[in-house]
Amino acid sequence: MMQPLKKDTKINHQLTKVKHKTILTRAESELRLSQASLVIEGANLQHNEYGTKLFADFFFFITGFHGFHVFSGVIINIIIFFNVLVGTYEKRKSYEMVEKVGLYWHFVDLVWVFVFTVFYLV
């Protein structure tokens, strides 16, 4: 049987009681941070977890570039979907645009297979 969660009374300090914003000086901020019992570790700027800077730059460029094309493909597929609902391609007597968008989408997917292999598995 699960017990209900207890409210942590240690966190109930002056900043949570006051309902307006409080501006602290640098010294006050440092004092409060030094007294903190829980600290969340942020970005580690002393050590690059992605290896060399060139690899990190290339990694984020390639994944961002691919993400842009995925986003574009989703938008184009939504447009094609609504065109099919309206009957645009039935009126034209050709579904060639649907085939082109399908080829684009599968090409973007195929590119991801190679990007994933190179950056995550090798």
pLDDT by residue, tens only, the chain of 122 residues: 555 545 545 555 555 666 667 788 898 888 887 876 555 555 555 666 777 888 888 988 999 999 999 999 999 999 999 999 999 999 999 999 999 999 999 999 999 999 999 988 87
pTM (two decimals): 0.59
26 belongs to a structural domain: no
Name the amino acid, one letter, at 102.
G
Q: Which amino acid, residue 77?
A: N
Domain that holds residue 71: 53-121
DSSP state, residue 37: S
How far is the C-alpha of 22 from the C-alpha of 45, rounded, in Å?
Answer: 29
What six digits make up the tokens of 48?
């690059």
Residues in CB range of 63: below 8 A, 6 or more apart = 115, 119
What is the count of structural domains for the chain?
A: 1
Q: Is residue 48 domain-resident?
A: no
